[in-house]
């Protein structure tokens, strides 16, 4: 008789266990076991437990190829789902084989799992494995598909509602409950204060400080106190939620006629604008991509959005100072260049309106499109083109946790008729148009952090913590990816012969980047280096980059005068006529304000099932070498955390968005 030991693990999240009947069949090269119920005395399959079971066969089954797991309903107790993590099979010959699952199972469901080392398609050496591989991808392609929701932007998943999403990529019940509780508390507090849905205008800045009783952060408090200051305004273009837009300026655009006379009072004594450009001390943020973009209507009129230009100066005190703002692209008498020497309210309004454009730009291109929507395509392509035994599937799947669910849920809530993004200055149509323009201008190098920093001329600007931490994080991810990819792809020939990998990058190129050759994004892989670079980008954008553009939203957006997705009053067109009242009348009404602030709270919250970058609670690799690479990756991230913590201890405004212990492994919100 041959005895097989099975260690069956149930997930440790809330409600993961089941009282249904679970059956398992071993499928080997020499035959199959009987369908065997897994049952010990007492309770089985409880949350966070591993049960040990035995299957006996008359003779050895030979090499174990697959296991089949079935879940039948308990006729006495009500049906409940089971989060099935993994099975470890110990054979009579002493082999120990991991069969990962990590998905929810319903009653009546049958799952066939493949275990052992990661395998590429040309390495399959048994017809049962080849057939299983083919059937797995066929089934997945029937489930996961693409849909054109809006022309000119990345394709969306074919799931239109969260109820359609398969169990293996669904949000955990505990996270759903926690998010609903948070939403209820926000609604309750805002409702009790009479703020939710209120059409009233704000009477004072003091009133805005009382939106929430208990939700504040060190940075949000600092923003509330210092938002008017030019040095703090400039610092946000380096270390705020949109650090990807500013470039070093060596020559002024012809439509931005800033003169020496205008900015002389703000430059170092005895120098000129041209000389400061030559020294590399002048920087520019230009919103020409937003010129003539459609906006939504407010009280029967189109909302003004200012696609302007802002000039910054790195002064001798190493502060980045705004020194000139033109709110529209074409200079004219009604489009003056605002300066710090103008009236306090003129200058403040110019900064506010430029920041309003910047935050709409941030949400559309740098947050939603570059992280959420492209990551959705990466995930769909992975599910359709790579079987679970593929090494790249195993490497990437931790970084796609919850992204499809998050995007489907977000599109149905944030973009609902009364959702925060629909009531932004651009509204739904404007944000989609901005994404179209962004994708049309996108270059592959924009997504490669070291190349992006160099192309923007920001290699040496001081106090740029996004760059400092981002380059270190990129290098750590790149070293990890290099080890993993080179282990499975020792030569370029192995890359080119992996047809599943080629199908994968082909789908991403087609459905994510719309087959635009001019982007420079690869449509196939010819070398190991190309694979390493692309996968490094995916992991960075699905973890660190999303943290950089998302996690600070409450810090910087909860004080609406510092940056709002909506301003409702026309910007100043002439100088010397504004008052403090114009600032209050420009910000959204009370109801819209708290909608934006509530969104920022929800998006910036750390939830209980947070999985930090570099931790892998789902054991998918069965080989010792990749497991060692993962440990080394984790150790490097810990060292980076220590470095960032030491730096932040010396800062009035810490930058922790790229601190590995603050970065989630995937986009989960």
Query: How does pLDDT run across 59-114, given as a tens digit for each residue?
Result: 999 999 999 999 998 878 777 889 999 999 999 999 999 999 999 998 888 999 99
Query: How does pLDDT run across 337-392, given as a tens digit for each residue?
Result: 999 999 999 999 999 999 999 999 999 999 999 999 999 999 999 999 999 999 99
The strand pairing partners of 4, in sequence order, are 55
Global pTM value: 0.96
In 158-306, which ranges are continuous DSSP H helix?
173-192, 205-208, 218-226, 230-239, 260-263, 273-279
Higher pLDDT, 210 or 434: 434
pLDDT at 168: 82
Whole-angstrom Cα distance, residue 219 to residue 297? 33
**CB contact at 8 A, 487 and 479:** no
Q: Please state the rounded mean pLDDT for residues 323-349.
A: 97
Whole-angstrom Cα distance, residue 73 to residue 337? 72
pLDDT at 192: 85
**Position of tokens 């635009």?**
516
Query: How does pLDDT run across 122-167, given as a tens digit for each residue?
Result: 999 999 999 999 999 999 999 999 999 999 999 999 999 999 999 8
- Could you give the maximum distance between any two Cα atoms of the chain, in Å? 95
Q: Please state the rounded mean pLDDT for residues 599-604.
A: 89
DSSP secondary structure, 11-38, as one string: --STT----SEEEEEEEETTEEPPPEE-
């Amino acid at each position: 008789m041959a005895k097989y030991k099975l260690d069956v693990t149930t997930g440790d999240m809330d409600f993961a266990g089941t009282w249904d009947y679970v059956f398992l069949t071993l499928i080997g090269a020499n035959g199959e076991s009987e369908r065997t119920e897994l049952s010990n005395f007492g309770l089985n399959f409880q949350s966070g437990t591993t049960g040990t079971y035995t299957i006996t066969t008359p003779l050895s089954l030979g090499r174990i190829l697959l296991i089949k797991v079935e879940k039948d309903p308990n006729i006495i107790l009500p049906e409940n789902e089971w989060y099935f993590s993994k099975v470890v099979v110990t054979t009579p010959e002493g082999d120990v084989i991991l069969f990962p699952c990590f998905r929810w199972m319903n009653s009546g469901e049958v799952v066939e799992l493949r275990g052992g080392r990661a395998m590429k398609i040309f390495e399959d050496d048994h017809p049962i494995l080849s057939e299983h591989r083919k059937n797995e991808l066929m089934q997945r392609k029937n489930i996961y598909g693409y849909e054109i929701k809006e022309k000119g932007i990345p394709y969306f998943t074919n799931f239109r509602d969260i109820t359609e999403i398969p169990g293996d990529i669904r949000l955990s019940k505990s996270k759903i409950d926690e998010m609903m509780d948070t939403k209820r508390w926000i609604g309750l507090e805002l409702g009790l204060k009479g703020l939710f849905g209120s059409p009233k205008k704000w009477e004072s800045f003091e009133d805005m400080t009382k939106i929430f009783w208990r939700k504040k952060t060190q940075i949000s408090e600092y923003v509330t106190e210092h938002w008017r200051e030019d040095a703090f305004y400039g610092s946000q273009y380096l270390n705020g939620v949109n650090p990807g837009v500013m470039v070093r300026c060596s020559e002024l655009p012809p439509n931005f006629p800033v003169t020496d006379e205008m900015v002389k009072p703000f430059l170092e004594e005895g120098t000129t604008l041209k000389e400061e450009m030559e020294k590399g001390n002048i920087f520019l943020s230009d919103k020409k991509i937003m010129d003539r973009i459609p906006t939504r209507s407010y009280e029967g009129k189109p909302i003004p959005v200012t696609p302007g230009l802002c000039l910054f100066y790195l002064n001798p005190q190493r502060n980045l100072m705004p020194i000139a703002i033109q709110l529209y692209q074409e200079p004219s008498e009604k489009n003056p260049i605002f300066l710090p020497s103008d009236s306090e309210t003129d200058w403040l309004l110019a900064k506010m309106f430029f920041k309003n454009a910047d935050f709409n730009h941030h949400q559309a291109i740098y947050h939603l499109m570059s992280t959420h929507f492209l990551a959705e395509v990466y995930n769909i392509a992975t599910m359709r083109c790579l079987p679970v035994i593929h090494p790249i599937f195993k490497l990437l799947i931790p970084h796609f946790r919850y992204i499809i669910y998050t995007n489907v849920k977000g599109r149905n809530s944030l973009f609902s008729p009364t959702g925060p993004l629909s009531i932004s200055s651009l509204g739904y149509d404007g944000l989609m148009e901005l994404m179209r323009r962004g994708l049309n201008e996108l270059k592959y190098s924009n997504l490669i952090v070291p190349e992006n920093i160099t192309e923007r001329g920001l290699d040496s600007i001081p106090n740029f913590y996004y760059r400092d931490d981002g380059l270190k994080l990129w290098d750590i991810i790149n070293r990890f990816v290099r080890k993993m990819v080179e282990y499975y792809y020792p030569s370029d020939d192995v890359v080119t012969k992996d047809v599943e990998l080629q199908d994968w990058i082909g789908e991403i190129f087609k459905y994510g980047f719309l087959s635009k050759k001019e982007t420079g994004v690869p449509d196939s892989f010819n070398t190991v280096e190309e694979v390493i670079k692309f996968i490094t980008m995916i992991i960075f954008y699905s973890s660190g980059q999303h943290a950089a553009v998302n996690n600070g939203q409450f810090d910087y957006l909860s004080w609406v005068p510092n940056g709002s997705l909506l301003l409702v009053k026309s910007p100043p067109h002439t100088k010397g006529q504004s008052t403090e009242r114009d600032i209050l009348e420009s910000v959204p009404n009370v109801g819209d304000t708290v909608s934006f602030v509530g969104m920022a709270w929800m998006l910036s919250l750390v939830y209980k099932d947070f999985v930090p970058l570099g931790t892998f609670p789902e054991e998918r690799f069965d080989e010792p070498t990749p497991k060692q690479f993962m440990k080394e990756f984790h150790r490097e991230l810990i060292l980076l955390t220590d470095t960032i913590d030491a730096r932040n201890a010396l800062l009035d405004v810490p930058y922790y968005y790229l601190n590995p212990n603050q970065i989630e492994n995937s986009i989960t919100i």
